[in-house]
Amino acid sequence: MKHNIEKNSICIADAEVLIKRYKVRGTGKAKSTIETTIPKEAFDREMRRLGLSPKEAIGRILAVWRYNDFQGLHLCFELREKNI
């Protein structure tokens, strides 16, 4: 996987990554938000990397989507402060 933030492009070789497909669903007033599922394995990997238990991870890990004029979305995880 190659990232080139300056050019706002992300090139992913499908042969080098795991691929999972999930349905999307509309939520909120007039279905103004679209939700989907992420692979549990991706969340578990972040949980282990950060040294958090499953209970701690659910409350502290944020999923952060980045998007611009490149095709698709880029998902990463950030750790939220405890008191937030």
pLDDT tens string 29-62:
999 999 999 999 999 999 999 999 999 999 899 9
What does the domain layout of the chain look like in residue ranges?
A: 2-79
Task: Encode 25-51: b = buried (16+ Cβ within 10 Å), e = exposed.
Answer: eeeeeeeeeeeeeeeeeebeebbeeee
Which residue reads 């599922």 in tokens? 37
Instruction: Tell me the average pLDDT across 16-21.
Output: 88
Best CA proximity match to 63, nearest among 48, 84, 80:
80
pTM of the entire predicted model: 0.67
pLDDT at residue 4 tops 60: no
What's the angle, vertex CA 39, arms to CA 42 and CA 70, rounded to 5? 80
